[in-house]
Amino acid sequence: MATTSLGAGRSGLAAADRARLLRRLETAVRRARRSPAGEVLAAVTVELGRDVDPVAVAVASRIHDEPWFCIEQPDRDRAALGTLGCVKALDARGPERFATVARAWRSLARAAECDAPDGLRATGPVAVGGFAFASEGGAAPHWRGFAPASLHVPEVALARRGEEVRLTLAALLAPDDDPEGVLARLEARAAGLREAPLPLLDPDPAGRFHVASAMPPEHYEQAVARAVERIRAGALDKVVLAREVDVLAPAAHHPASILGVLREAFPECFVFCAGRGERAFLAASPELLVRREGLRAGTLALAGSTRRSADPAVDDHLGEQLLRSEKDREEQAIVTRRIVRALRPFSVWITGPDEPIVAKLANIQHLATPIRAQLAGPVSAVELAGLLHPTPAVGGEPFAVAAPLIPALEGLDRGWYAGPVGWTDTNEDGEFCVALRCALLSGPVARCYAGVGVVRDSDPAAELAETEVKLQALLPVLAG
């Protein structure tokens, strides 16, 4: 496998960029001495060649077990972000975790010595990571490293949109830091960046794979049946129930190889990986939670699904059946109404189509309603994610009733499954998707998650079958 160093003229700092970074480091140290926080973020952003692949660089350049993160949506103008390291961790837990992390990032970003974002999204210093589904989620040992709210400010970030690629190098300066020493460290890091094709998945692995539900399938059907009883009794309108299926491989799962398959198979999805120590959480998610660009916000109400078919006529027929399904239309309407209700107090206007459309992915098709809003004032991307999470597409309606019911019926710790994952920049713009079609990798163990929306007309066997369809995004890749 060919590996290319980016240090020679591609990510190495030119003299002018080096001087600019040194000035910022020196200014940051002086300001840190006067700052109550005692630290100031400094960064420089430079242009790279159009052929650089941010994700491939992040995978090839990772040092030991340092945190890494990547997210891309190939069909959306080749959008990609790859990051390495962590100069500042913004972690929180509890019901106010979104607001806590948003305030911490705002304080750090406003004081930063850096280039302003220049129109290319996700450039300059960014904070990347995600949030657990529940306010105290991720307490199970296998979720160690994935706090209920956890955004990392990376040392290295590469962003691509279309044919443009930017590299940002960042450091957090304390009052007694040596600017020249920090500069030397960042220069060495830039010079050490390299790019290699993502490793291929072994087409014929040795040994046996074992695939099993964490709970028996009958347990899931019983959970759906109990939920339907509660809905028909009038306790709530909808609840989303998930199940976990584990894949035990004969050797450690390789997140980079799996990423390579996912981005080829699901170019229309948000393909991401958050690496924390020896664990990696990855997904090919079809669902945008929120995208903020200035005072514009966008989201996607996604609910109701059916399988795909290789026969175009059958595939179209399945999509038409989905559009006409009262059960699926009810599920979709619940999600749309909740999103609009959450955004309305913060918006001048909200708009979306009167009827849902059918969104076709590689292995599944969904009912989808894109929603746009003009914000009345500045609400950060992280705060918007907190306002919208969890939508009824992953939680329930009303959520206050669904919240205690979900863990009681599921019997699992969702961790970051169904939580927001993404990034935000120094303008507090950003993009968060919902972590669906995902797996948590830890050595040879992969924990896969999939859920369905349960409403009054749900059939337990049909809902179990729907989870099997959704699991097909990852199980064939993970199970050899």
Q: Which residues are catalytic?
A: 238, 287
Q: Is 431 helix (H, G, I), strand (E, B) or coil?
A: strand
**C-alpha to C-alpha distances, 134 to 67, 94, 198, 346, nearest whole angstrom:** 23, 8, 33, 24
Greatest CA separation found in the chain?
71
125 by Cβ neighbours in 10 Å (0-12 / 13-18 / 19+) ranks as buried
φ, ψ for residue 184, nearest 5 deg: -60, -40
φ, ψ for residue 417, nearest 5 deg: -60, 130
Structural element, H or E, at residue 471: helix 460-471
Report the Cα 122 to chain-centroid distance in Å: 14
| Residue indicated by tokens 């998707």 | 433
In DSSP terms, 70 is beta-bridged to 82, 273
**C-alpha to C-alpha distances, 303 to 207, 359, 361, nearest whole angstrom:** 38, 10, 14
Which candidate, 29, 46, 64, places its Cα nearest to that of 182?
Answer: 29
Q: Is 354 helix (H, G, I), strand (E, B) or coil?
A: coil
64: left (phi over 0), alpha (psi -120 to 50) or beta: left
What CA–CA distance (Å, rounded) separates 293 from 381?
9
